Structure 1
Amino acid sequence: MINKLSLKMRLTILTGCIIIAIAMCLTATSIYNIDNKFSYPQLNKNAIFSSEIIPSNISREKDNSQLGVTIQISEAKKQFKVSILIWMIGIIIVGIGATYIIVSRALKPLNNLSNTIKNINEYNLSQPIENFSTKDEIGSLATSFNKMLSRLDKSFSNQKRFAANAAHELKTPLAIIKSGIQVLKLDENPSIDDYKENIDITEQSTQRLIQVVDDLLKLTYNEIKEFDDIISVNKVFQDIIKELDETISSKNIHIHLSDFSIDVLGNKPLIYRAFFNILENAVKYNKQGGSIEVSTELCNDMAVISISDTGIGIPHDEIENIFDPFYRVDKSRSREISGSGLGLSIVKTVIEKHSGTINVKSNKDVGTTVNVLLPYYIYDLPKQF
């Protein structure tokens, strides 16, 4: 029931209960002390036995005087008890009222913060909450909320950019297919060669559509997979180099693969896909006659796989964006090189699924180094007897 009340009322009730308890304890203590610490004067019971020493009229007057004092003390005690009970009730009422006012003022910044938050929507996420620069809990809450707004604003911007880029990537091959069909319609007597040329263009555009859709599915694929394959990193790169042999030979690129063998535990198809994308980029964006070096080493409990190339490089201010879906460093040049722009996004997703990390170091027109850190597989040592 109390959970349905506002925070102001709950704090007031809680503080009021404490005030009531303290006031009742103090009142009970005062009444106990007045009853036990103040004693009535004793009547002179031995006066009857000392009548020959003290005259009877003097003894009777003394007893009457003591009885009067006793009555006065009794009346004073009653008045004190009534007075202290009245004061107790008054203190409780004043204390609860003062608590309600103080709590209301203390929670006013929180109410203002709540009203400000209510006016925030997807169109004004970039506007931070202001006028809450105090160093108390309310200021801390406002600061944390501003940080959350910044993350949400970035997330919404990424989603909008992703949707726009995805639409563009899908629209381009569709527009090419449509243009080819329109050209055929304009020609009254298209030749067989025209049909063949249009089919080839349609096939290429369809393949590009399939690649984009396939990459999007891989990027958003969250189904739990098995991660118990023992994967030889060197063997994976050897297979990738064989698959890319034609492109490597056409650009006369020299690849040096480290002999230091390391095994990692994970999903082999996903690991293969991630390293294929990295090495394919190192080949695509490399210079004619360039080189690529693949090295592996152990660092603490992680395997470090480094892929360095002598390619065109990446500007420093764009490195943090290269893992965004469809992001291209040089859009004009990237159009000349096939790809959906999702390769590195898939790589990062795969590496993170394997509890690893990836970072990139690059200098424009000098080259790029991609470092992948993955937990390596430790073989069980045979028991010694």
Structure 2
Amino acid sequence: MKRMKRLSFQWRITLLTAILIAGTCICLNLLLYRSGTVSMDSLNGFVMKYDTGNSDVVKIEFDDQQMSAFLRQFSQEVYDAKAAFGKKGWCITAIVTLLSAAIAYFVSGRALKPLKKFSQQTENIDQDNLTSTRLDENTAAEFQQLSCSVNHMLDRLALSFDLQRQFAGNAAHELRTPLAMMQTKLELFTEEHSDVDAETSKLVQFQIDQVDRLTSLVRTLLEMSNLQSVSRSDEIELAPLIDEILTDLTTLAEQKNITLHQNCEDVHMIGSDTLIYRLLFNLIENAIKYNHSGGSVTVSMQQENQQVLLHIADTGCGIPEEYRESIFQPFFRVDKSRSRQMGGVGLGLALVREIAVLHGGSVCVESGSKDGTTFAVKLPLNGEKTE
């Protein structure tokens, strides 16, 4: 039963049809065999009892020895005929069963085409294309209601995601003002009370650090909630953009004693200049932050078909294999204590993936060992998803 559940619906139909045809053929074969053998056996009795009783009919008489030999040979012929009849019946049964199974497989495959198409359409659904994806409702009657139900579900999900983004954006927007006021008050207090005792100074600095962290979190949440509304029609020269990012991060790299390298082709793409800058900035900044002193960060870029391939490699502590997907989830941290020391809020890589998907691309950890980590980013040149 468990093995049956693992089979596809097409194979289930094929097997059930084959079993039904085989059972029917076997029953028919047994009945025909029984009827045929009884008829053949009756010939022996017919020969033994044959007597026309008509003197006008020419009779051929055999002596007892010849008659016995004839009857033995005749019985053997009847037995051989029954055996051949049985073999032919079973061969025909096997051929009909296999032929019926093959026909059932192809017929069921054609009948299940709408279900396969339905499955392919649902596989392409994610939170970024809920509003644009619609299942074909002009299909077989059995799937019409299912397609309509799924389309209504997609509408409700799209509305839920929109409300969630709107709530996050509104909450982040409302939080910015009190946080800015708190930061201003703390900075004024620090300037006006430079002679406070060490304990008070430490407490104020702690408050400033936490407010900065909250401000960064709110800013990132606001960015993530507004991604869908950002125009993605800019023509971006990626090599100069990477130069600009490396220049912006030079101070941080010098503080960490990190060497920056690049090997980038001259590639152009269509997208949001602001978002692509943020994507690359976050990845390169992480490569610097989570590196060791004296390490290096290498950014390489090349064009392949209609895609740009970017690799950001560092010589840091690496990422364990079991966390290579989880790190793109919001607020996930491999090492919580270390991440807090670095000032991260746990949204940098989540934002990176959102931006990549929004441009029809992808991002993943291509390798991650104790010798470092390499992030691979694929982005279509025309800003649309390529298969």
Structure-1-length-normalised TM-score: 0.48
Larger Cα-atom Rg:
1
| TM value normalised by structure 2 | 0.47
